[in-house]
Amino acid sequence: MAHLLIFGLGYTAARIAAAVQARGWQVTATGSAGDIAFADRAGVLAALDKATHILSSVPPDRASGGDPVLDAYGAGPEGFGADKALFYLSSTGVYGDRQGAWVDEATPTIAQSGEGRRNARAEADLAWLRLDARVFRLPGIYGPGRSALDRVREGKARRIDLPDQVFSRVHVDDIASGVVAALERHAPAGAYNLGDDLPCSGNEVTEHACRLLGLPLPKLESLEEANLSEMARGFYAENRRVANGKAKRVLGWEPAYPTYVEGLSELV
């Protein structure tokens, strides 16, 4: 029986786990919602021995750039064997700011300077690629309980006056279907962008969410007026469109929610 070991059973990985379990896979996971603690070395090594596939959704350490999973379990005689198919959830943040230009898997990643989290993710992304993993680069993730609809309802939605800023996004269930496609098709190792078909501004998504809910628009603010956190300001400092053609060609993947319109309509 196919057995998937997941490091870090968070929001996205839990949807992936549910999708593969529905197909008859056995799943073991670390994390507060998983079966074993990450620090339980005996338990993790026993799960590694049984696993046919390994998926990591654990982010790298921002300060060191190291990957906790690779550091703890990926090296040495007890590490990942060649018989394990490896999968890693990364971020399209590895492409950095492209001033609104399109990026694809051939676009160089940026890990030399700038924001620490992006650089750490890029370093970890490359480390997994060197191990012949299937690396999924993900843009802004939304889904049940985590969308513009929730931010509007909670009064936390913002509209920032940056007319040329665009980004890509992806519904969490489209991530799950992309990973499942890679698992079932024995996809070649390499990077895959999983994003929707319509990169656009965050304001456009927020305004559509307000229309769906019949609620007023948040006021339009400058970046300075918004007084955003460091993380949020870093997000608005980057501007790119993410192409998803490789995932469609190689994995046969088609997003169920090709734009935010379908995604928010389903969620509302």
- State residue 225's pLDDT score: 85
| Residues present in the chain in total | 268
For residue 15, the surrounding DSSP H or E stretch is helix 11-21
Q: Where are the alpha helices (DSSP H) in 38-170?
A: 41-50, 68-73, 116-130, 148-153
**Dihedral sign of CA atoms 11, 17, 22, 27 in order:** negative
The owner of tokens 């990591």 is 56
Positions of the chain with pLDDT lower than 70, given as ranges: 75-78, 111-117
DSSP state of 200: B
Domain 3-267 grouped into CATH 3.40.50.720: yes
- State residue 30's pLDDT score: 96
- State residue 111's pLDDT score: 60
The owner of tokens 């399209």 is 92
Whether the model pTM is above 0.85: yes
Name the residue ranges covered by the structural domains of the chain: 3-267
- State residue 116's pLDDT score: 62
- State residue 246's pLDDT score: 98
**Distance between CA 165 and CA 200 in Å, rounded?**
8
**Distance between CA 178 and CA 141 in Å, rounded?**
14
